[in-house]
Structure formats: C-alpha cells, structure tokens
Structure 1
Amino acid sequence: MKTLVSIATALSITLFATAQNPKYISAMEKNIAILDTARSTAQLQSLANNFERIASGEKKEWLPNYYAAYCYATLSLNFKGDEIDTYCDKADAFINKADSINPSNSEIYAVKAKIAAARINVNPMTRGQKYGAQSTVLRDKAKALDPANPRPWLLEGQSKFYTPTAFGGGKTKAKPAFEKALTLFETFKPTSSIHPRWGKNETTYFLKKCDE
C-alpha cells in the first residue's frame, strides 16, 4: 500500500511540475502538431532539431528525447544504405536518454522496436534475421508494459507487411495486427496533450493496402 501511495505521489509531483511550465507544453504541442503530417527530410530534420533544443532545456523530461528519437527513426526511412544507420544511431541516443529518465515505458520500447526495424533497410538480406528478432523482442516488451498501447501492434503489422510471404510475412499475416491496432486506437486516450498519439492514420492506410 505504501508503495502505491509513493508511486501516486511521485506521479502527481511530476504532472504538477510539468503543468507549471506552460512554455514547455506550448513548444511541445506546436511541434507535435506538425509531426502528425511531417514526411519530408527537411520537415523531420527541423522537428528533430526542435525537440533536441527542448530536451536540452528540459533535462528531466523524457518526451522531448522520445520525439527526437521518433523523428530520426522516421527520417532514416528517407535514406538508403549506411546513411540509415547514421540516423538510427541518433535515434538510439535520444531514446536511450528518454529511457534513462523514464524506464520501463511502453512508448519508449515501441520506438526502440521502430529503430531496430529501420536498421533492416540497410540490407534486408543480411540484416533481416538479426534486427527483425531485436525488433520483435522490443515490440513484445512494449506490449507487456502496456497491453492497451496500439503502437506495438502497428509496428508488428508493418513488419509482417514488408516481410516476403516466403518468410512468413505478407498482407494476410499483417492484417490481424493492424486490426488489433485499430481496435486499440478506438479506445486509446493519450495521458496528456503532449504524450504519444501517432499511428492511427498509418494503421488505416495499411489496412486498406491489405485489402487491395
């Protein structure tokens, strides 16, 4: 009982401290709003820079580091070969900072899984087994930490969607994971205006692709 009270007290203090910093909240909200539709290299790099600046000024907050990592992981998809690793390395550095501030967080493990999956693209034939297995372990950890989080299911669907049918992937294998993600998105409520909410649009997009 004392442990539960201590956790609740710590959470209240954290939320109160965050609420007392409207400039931080405003800066985060502004960049997150842009992130929802950002796809170009220039947009994602600009957002990554912005979140990095916020992180440098808010050293006790995990979310700026989380979003910087997410931006770099997504940005890596715009490149080929060894350049992918360059951006994934940056993503890993930021997500590890987020993890050190807020360990055992489902959202953080989902981004770790996203980064590992992105590394496969350097050379799918030689990297698929190693980084595919790493991504699966991280994804499963994200599910275990928060069964209501839809993002690990989206990532599972994407992994199966892009895996050749000969290796156990394909649209038919991917669809149940996307359906599970969409079901969870219907009831998912972000903790605050700056907590992770990405993925629903991607889920509906891939579900349509599965039916084509």
Structure 2
Amino acid sequence: MTFAQSAQYQGAMAKQIALLDDPANHGPEKMQEIANTFERIAAAEKTQWLPYYYAAYCYVMNALMEKDKSKVDAIDDKAQNAILQADGLSPKNDEIYCIRSLIATARIGVDPQTRGMQFGSEAATWLAQAAQINKDNPRVDLLQGQSLYYTPEQFGGSKEKAKEKFEIALKKFAAFKPASEIAPHWGEEYTRQLLAK
C-alpha cells in the first residue's frame, strides 16, 4: 500500500479542506497558510494532483481578493505554477481547467480594459474544455455564470443569462457527488450568494 492512499495523507488533506470550507478562513493570511500546507503535502506526495490543485485554488482566491492590483500577477503566477504541476499529474481534468479559468479571470481584474479580451477568451476556453470533459461539473456553470455576471453587457455579459447558469449550477450541485471526501466540492454557497444578488 502506498503512502498516497494512507490515512495520514487523507487525514492531512481532509483537515486542510475543512479549513478551506470555513468562510472564517477566507482572508489572505489564512489562505496563504493553507496554501503553504498544501504545498508541503504536495512535496511529500509527488504523484498526487489534489494538493497542487488546492494550493492553486488558495492562491487564485487570494489573487481575486487582492486590492493592490500590482500584487495580483505575482500571486496568480504561484497559482499557475501549482496548477501546472497538478495538470502534469492529472491531464484533461475538468476541475483543473476550472482553476486555470479562474487564474485567467484574476489576470483580467488587474486591468480589464487592456486584459479583458485576451484573458476573457482564455478563461472561456478553459471552461468550455472542462464542460466537454464533464458536463455535470457544477463549478463549470458557476464560473460561466460568474463571467456573464461580471462582464459588461457590451462585451457579452448578461445578468439574465448569469442567473440561468447559477440555477443550472445549483441543480448540478444538488446531484453532485465528489469522487472522495478530499475531491473538489467548493462553490455551492458562493453560487447561492451570487444568485441572491
């Protein structure tokens, strides 16, 4: 039996994911701390994509929350490095493509005027690929809806279409069964918040 399947790995991952699931930890310092722990787990578990995936998730969430636009690219680069590691271990993975889409989205936020076109289409491409792999992944609809919600109407955004996407995402969340207790399952609460807007 490999260490990867061990209770120790599962336990360490489950503990960090529980921290991620707690909204109290969604500040930059806490997210950085959790990312560091996932990086340590990844270093010990060289064949596992999930620790890299979650480290990337933490970084990209920080990039999206960062108010100082001059810091976003550096944080996003960390997310990019981690997700490329995950991608190398688990190619053609819809969950990884969702994070790659978020990384592109975070880059738009630095300067929407000059970056919107390039990174907007990159984000959309990753989500389209994720949907091809797994049409039942609720995070794909959530992120497509988020994009529609935050994109100005003259650039193809639509609050109405966003609402439809969020409603589809919630239906999929209701039916969604994560592959394991440490598999990605984030987004349902956020979908509800966006829908409430």
Measured against the shorter chain, the TM-score band is over 0.9
- The letter of the residue matching 1:62 is W
- The letter of the residue matching 2:31 is L
Q: Distance in 1 between matches of 2:160 and 2:135?
A: 23
Q: What is the Cα deviation at residue 25 of structure 1?
A: 0.5
| Paired residue secondary structure (1:24) | helix
- The letter of the residue matching 1:65 is Y
Q: What is the Cα deviation at residue 17 of structure 1?
A: 4.3
Correspondence 1:34 to 2:22:
no
TM-score normalised to the size of structure 2? 0.95
Q: Distance in 2 between matches of 1:20 and 1:136?
A: 34
| Paired residue secondary structure (2:137) | coil
Equivalent pairs, count: 194
**Alignment partner of 2:10 out of 14, 17, 25:** 25
**Alignment partner of 1:51 out of 38, 43, 46:** 38
Residues 168 and 31 (structure 1 numbering): CA distance in 2 closer, same or farther, change over 3 Å?
Answer: same
Correspondence 1:111 to 2:96:
no
Q: Distance in 1 between matches of 2:164 and 2:16?
A: 32
Correspondence 1:73 to 2:60:
yes
Larger Rg computed on CA atoms: 1
TM-score normalised to the size of structure 1? 0.88
- The letter of the residue matching 1:120 is I
Unaligned runs of 5+ in 2: none
Q: What is the Cα deviation at residue 19 of structure 1?
A: 7.0
Q: Distance in 2 between matches of 1:193 and 1:53?
A: 20
Q: Distance in 1 between matches of 2:74 and 2:44?
A: 25
Q: What is the Cα deviation at residue 166 of structure 1?
A: 2.5
Correspondence 1:188 to 2:176:
yes
Q: What is the Cα deviation at residue 172 of structure 1?
A: 1.4
Q: Give percent identity, aligned residues only.
A: 46
Runs of 4+ in 1 over 4 A off after TM superposition: 16-19
Correspondence 1:149 to 2:137:
yes
Q: Distance in 1 between matches of 2:2 and 2:94?
A: 22
Q: What is the Cα deviation at residue 26 of structure 1?
A: 0.4
Unaligned runs of 5+ in 1: 1-15
Q: Distance in 1 between matches of 2:38 and 2:101?
A: 20
Aligned twin of 1:7? none
- The letter of the residue matching 1:44 is M
Residues 122 and 194 (structure 1 numbering): CA distance in 2 closer, same or farther, change over 3 Å?
Answer: same
Aligned twin of 1:64? 51
- The letter of the residue matching 2:146 is Q
**Alignment partner of 1:136 out of 109, 124, 127:** 124
Correspondence 1:84 to 2:69:
no
